[in-house]
Structure 1
């Protein structure tokens, strides 16, 4: 397996290097330059003259979409990265990675564009759900497990986004100003740990600049730190459209400029070499890195792949369900209301209970074969007649991509109106990039695309239809034309506005439940836009009738009044958490807070399920009996939730990030640049480090999470930098505990946090059983980055090792000298 060196592995590694060198020697300048440039959206070209097949990339991190945006080839959808980190289990992350490698091989994908290991600097970050944690050590441990798992299956990873892509606002142009200490101790730390512990075959560079230099050209961070200090020997791939300078990028350490065919490499790079602007030896080193990646994944003739014996086949649904229940964090359980008795009645409410949000928006999107909602999971688990359901409150009053009730296909026509091809659609969104087009369709012969089909309403009333995207649109519903006009871009918009932008309302009509109507949205393809992508991206949007919010809440209250337990599901939406933009607050959208409070007022046994990828305000948290955080739980989320609610499984999660009482309490909030710059003025104080410095109590602290049993911490002993913790399961059920060790300096001559995570480990025990766990404390725990010396400096002295259940619940301690 990958990551397990043997004599044979060493021989194979040398053989791979020999084959790579021989292949490099056969290539002329044009072939070398072509190899470093994407040939389309997802691949770089094959070079048959050296036995090289085309290398294929695909988006992750919770699934493997493949090279087409379609549900025709479904993907397993695992829980969000925040959920995976909430398991605090690197071995489970490794198993998840092996599953994704299996999925990648099934889809002929060689390299997964994952994991995302940027930090939770601020909860406003739009891709917060796609990152693991606010803590660099936890992020590095989970990320290492994930990378090892994917590469165990012979598939490469590109750890991203190197470095400082911690928010989405102006992400293409922002200059993040990060001092050396926080850059090294926080933001670079997960990448360094993963390079050391998992030997990733790829890194993806970020869009943003760091301290004045855009990352694709950052010679110091990419060549001197990543390759030089850390010894990284894989390929550095640009984030899509991040590469902007031929000379700057190649000399700054960027190996592959994606996507293609229009890139700053290829012909432009060969021309720069011939003009004497770039040394060919620099190009050779980049080609060597790419050929090494190809050899490792087994697509370079004569070079042995790193993995020849694949892991045993994995049941994807089972792993998705396991990760989901292991990630669920029980943050409150007053009166032990959970687990529920299987014989009681349950009143379920919340629009997200029926239409579950299982993944975050943006490039992380995949299309699973099935989705188990909370309503589905509880219907399956509870006896007939025990469950009632009410909408209660809908988190969204905005148009969304047409989905439930729509049966759609895409018809492609040329300039003469003749059909040149058709394609199926999983929903109302068309996203065809490069060669990702229906059979028979080319970008040259494509003139218009018509999304056409039927819509069968689930509710009677006024339905709203709209569009998302740029260009000419004609929208008709039931034969009536709602819109026929051109929609242009906003000034200074994100290049992916067609994908991430807000939909526009185009018309309203009264429809009857169960009675289908025809729908048609025709889009004229804009060409010669100057974009490096040949892409078609637009959507048909829809919003169901908006019933009176007070009536909906009243219905849920009435159902809850007569039930043994009320379960309310609250959620965010794609317009709250997604790639492409940052959040503006932490409030739950719509009337969901009102719903929770109204239900809790009539049923003392109210359980709230929070379906979000990142923190939200919960102003009612002390008015309800129990709160479960499910994150974005993946395709099996509803089944896992039922397992936890009814006690078949323990809620295994612990918080990987701090949850505030109120946004006003959050210590680090600035994500919007001023004059193009975003200073990280907080230094090394983000996450719990910043909370403790501010002296403000959050709603739920880093590491917090309850289970269905109780634990007594007996002792901790230290020998050198190894700690042994003894604890007992004092409850009545078997359980798993995450033992967390924090280090606090007795005195400080330098500015450091009050304490920080040094080690953790999971342990299981039967009721009454006493167990021991050993924790190794890495040397880096006691070091800081000393910029004047340009190196790591050990801070000697006395430290208190504080061990417990979270950073705020430390049970036993011991002193150690460094």
Structure 2
């Protein structure tokens, strides 16, 4: 850092006040302006928990799409998280991005959180270690990470305005802990959240941003606001924020200049912010003549291969009765693959985390490829999607021609009738110039009957099929806010009778309000004629009964798990539970694949042969699934969250924003800590996950700073295990959890092979926050476990002031 300070101070001295403030204020949606006269380039940011979108949407420039952060956490492997970070670091460089907006390390306090697929875990240690690995990988490419959202953004309801009341102890021991770990790992930026914490909006929260983050933790990077989270000129400037994003509705610019000149904001406060921005610019190579933090990035990785590896390592085998899995291909003649999500794979969550993958392998496609020579039969069974899927496939000929018009026209083609971007437009068009969008294709139906077409998005639409206007109008009421338009799209459906083999032209036109083309989410949906809901289930049951095994893919939709809203229920949407129950009754060898980013209820779990939890598995979804089901790879995942049997059993469930406040009255008893105190067994405990081999825990030795565990692969296959170490007071203390995660290590071994791992036990293992970190001396039970509810070996450690060295 010192070398940068030597460069920064002379540059800072050259700037006048307006120039300084310009470097702290978004220039547009994704960038902070440069200043050529001092050799400073523009800093480009991008969303990117699972892929790097870049500053806009270019259909010819897709993004490697990795599994969801919950999947990455399910690997319990910081090294694998680093590998994922390496891929996104190289993607950032390829797309010209200097600052990646991730990782998200907010905790999963209640399973109803709509954006939990983007967070790692309910445990601060696991979240912090996975986040630290991700930070190291991305920044190895000289691209900055932005740890978010500091702090208390653990739900979506009223997130822009809600005040989260968190006690000091829970704030320190749980919610701030993963941020502290990521900062210690060297993250170059932190994002402040929309919400307030203990009465102060986070973008203006001086005690946390200036006090804890910058002074106490020594953070020397940049604090950037969530988009439009900074709403005050003076309070945000004095509260530790460094960069306010984006340009629209920004409270800084000339208003901050005026506040400095009036004496409301000292200029040295602005200077500190500018130093941080210049330091970040130097690190990412945006200062002429200044060597960046990374001069020789690592060699590029195969993004698809990494997506595949993360997926297989993340899948959690939750149930496997009578060794149903892995399947033996040679013993199969017919396999039933059932579920709308088996064909239309849900590979990532909704909201700002969305990117466009280069390709997606669906479960049906993956199993079909892997089971050559086996009859793979498909049925929808039950369709949970409230919106029709985007039109695509061979019936649509050469695909969809899209024309953007305004100041000039830009024409491109797409294989799927879905358009979505935030920021720059395709073709480099200026948002102010684009006033219309047209999507056109020739559709030659395979089936006679009533085809259903749907329009979703925002703006004014006209849909014509076969030269006749079928819909004209808007979907949202006048005055709907921009955020609601993007995160809560609506749909209109029309039925059109068509004859098989007779081509018709389908045209969707959209009028766009001048200046608003930087945000578009438009889809033309299509569904062919087919059976009704009862008929679809009956069809699935029939093919299941006639097959050797039934693989049922169930899951959530973008309207259930997404940024912008929380989940009203933990139940699977639609009639998927009914589908599974009927298929299982027809075929005892029913394997259920759960395609959801966070916990859902599984009322049929005890009645099926196997349950495999696959999260949102990224672009290699179906290929990874086939490998795991057929035993080419082992399901390596362990649960990073507790999965309930009933919603009412959850120790923290409701997101209650009464009076604009959410009170975290449970204190430190969050996640499995709360489950232990409540004494109710969940369906699947924290850390749970089966494999295809057997592990014997042979020995455990414990010291104040380390646990040494030896395990034996006693099975017949190569396999992986996650050795989990938990600690808790020998004499129960009602003010502390019964047990908490103290450390962990993934291991791998061949049959008959022993592995000894040394697992560090951080000093915080034995500490509580009591106006400062205080070690609690006494006797502790330290357990090496396969999962929280599956302890294998326990040793007692007594900490005393003289002997502990703490």
TM-score with structure 1 setting the length? 0.93
TM-aligned CA deviation for residue 319 of structure 1: 0.6
TM-aligned CA deviation for residue 464 of structure 1: 3.5
- Answer yes or no: is 1:413 the counterpart of 2:401: no
Corresponding residue of 1:75: 63
Checking the alignment, whether the CA contact within 8 Å between 1:399 and 1:505 is kept in structure 2 is no
Deviates more, 1:45-54 or 1:259-268: 259-268
TM-aligned CA deviation for residue 430 of structure 1: 4.3
Corresponding residue of 2:804: none
Corresponding residue of 1:813: 794
In the alignment, the residues of structure 2 paired with residue 410 and residue 707 of structure 1 have an alpha-carbon distance, to the nearest angstrom, of 47
The 5-angstrom pairing of residues 142-291 of structure 1 reads 142-196=130-184, 198-260=185-247, 262-291=249-278
SS at structure 1 position matched to 2:245:
coil
The 5-angstrom pairing of residues 364-403 of structure 1 reads 364-402=353-391
In the alignment, the residues of structure 1 paired with residue 689 and residue 489 of structure 2 have an alpha-carbon distance, to the nearest angstrom, of 36
In the alignment, the residues of structure 2 paired with residue 38 and residue 460 of structure 1 have an alpha-carbon distance, to the nearest angstrom, of 53
Change beyond 3 A, Cα 1:741–1:488:
same
Of the candidates 441, 464, 469, which is equivalent to residue 453 of structure 1?
441
TM-aligned CA deviation for residue 179 of structure 1: 1.1
- Answer yes or no: is 1:324 the counterpart of 2:311: yes
TM-aligned CA deviation for residue 314 of structure 1: 0.5
Checking the alignment, whether the CA contact within 8 Å between 1:467 and 1:538 is kept in structure 2 is no
TM-aligned CA deviation for residue 657 of structure 1: 0.3
TM-aligned CA deviation for residue 384 of structure 1: 1.8
In the alignment, the residues of structure 2 paired with residue 585 and residue 148 of structure 1 have an alpha-carbon distance, to the nearest angstrom, of 36
In the alignment, the residues of structure 1 paired with residue 41 and residue 551 of structure 2 have an alpha-carbon distance, to the nearest angstrom, of 53
Checking the alignment, whether the CA contact within 8 Å between 2:435 and 2:514 is kept in structure 1 is no
In the alignment, the residues of structure 2 paired with residue 21 and residue 93 of structure 1 have an alpha-carbon distance, to the nearest angstrom, of 36
In the alignment, the residues of structure 2 paired with residue 558 and residue 797 of structure 1 have an alpha-carbon distance, to the nearest angstrom, of 62
Change beyond 3 A, Cα 1:515–1:353:
farther
Change beyond 3 A, Cα 1:432–1:807:
closer
Corresponding residue of 1:561: 545
In the alignment, the residues of structure 2 paired with residue 75 and residue 97 of structure 1 have an alpha-carbon distance, to the nearest angstrom, of 14
- Answer yes or no: is 1:694 the counterpart of 2:681: no
Checking the alignment, whether the CA contact within 8 Å between 1:521 and 1:540 is kept in structure 2 is no
- Answer yes or no: is 1:139 the counterpart of 2:122: no
Checking the alignment, whether the CA contact within 8 Å between 1:715 and 1:813 is kept in structure 2 is no
TM-aligned CA deviation for residue 169 of structure 1: 1.0
- Answer yes or no: is 1:650 the counterpart of 2:634: yes
In the alignment, the residues of structure 1 paired with residue 701 and residue 417 of structure 2 have an alpha-carbon distance, to the nearest angstrom, of 60
Change beyond 3 A, Cα 1:547–1:20:
farther
Corresponding residue of 1:8: none
Deviates more, 1:512-521 or 1:371-380: 512-521
Checking the alignment, whether the CA contact within 8 Å between 2:434 and 2:514 is kept in structure 1 is no
Corresponding residue of 1:579: 563
Corresponding residue of 1:601: 585
Corresponding residue of 2:783: 802
Checking the alignment, whether the CA contact within 8 Å between 1:658 and 1:700 is kept in structure 2 is yes
Corresponding residue of 2:111: 123
Corresponding residue of 2:350: 361
Corresponding residue of 1:336: 323
In the alignment, the residues of structure 1 paired with residue 404 and residue 286 of structure 2 have an alpha-carbon distance, to the nearest angstrom, of 35
Corresponding residue of 2:23: 35
The alignment's C-alpha RMSD in Å is 2.0
SS at structure 1 position matched to 2:605:
coil
Matched residue pairs, number? 793
SS at structure 2 position matched to 1:158:
strand
Corresponding residue of 1:6: none
Corresponding residue of 2:286: 299
In the alignment, the residues of structure 2 paired with residue 730 and residue 84 of structure 1 have an alpha-carbon distance, to the nearest angstrom, of 27
Change beyond 3 A, Cα 1:475–1:317:
same
The 5-angstrom pairing of residues 492-503 of structure 1 reads 495-503=482-490
Corresponding residue of 2:491: 504
Deviates more, 1:31-40 or 1:88-97: 31-40
Corresponding residue of 2:604: 620
Checking the alignment, whether the CA contact within 8 Å between 1:71 and 1:426 is kept in structure 2 is no
Change beyond 3 A, Cα 1:172–1:64:
same
Of the candidates 345, 348, 363, which is equivalent to residue 337 of structure 2?
348
Change beyond 3 A, Cα 1:722–1:297:
same
Corresponding residue of 1:550: 534
Corresponding residue of 2:802: none
TM-aligned CA deviation for residue 429 of structure 1: 4.4
Deviates more, 1:764-773 or 1:628-637: 764-773
Corresponding residue of 1:769: 753
- Answer yes or no: is 1:659 the counterpart of 2:659: no
Change beyond 3 A, Cα 1:421–1:637:
closer
Checking the alignment, whether the CA contact within 8 Å between 1:160 and 1:204 is kept in structure 2 is yes
Change beyond 3 A, Cα 1:431–1:379:
closer
Deviates more, 1:274-283 or 1:652-661: 274-283
In the alignment, the residues of structure 2 paired with residue 16 and residue 288 of structure 1 have an alpha-carbon distance, to the nearest angstrom, of 9
Deviates more, 1:450-459 or 1:139-148: 450-459
SS at structure 1 position matched to 2:658:
coil
Checking the alignment, whether the CA contact within 8 Å between 2:601 and 2:646 is kept in structure 1 is yes
Change beyond 3 A, Cα 1:618–1:457:
farther
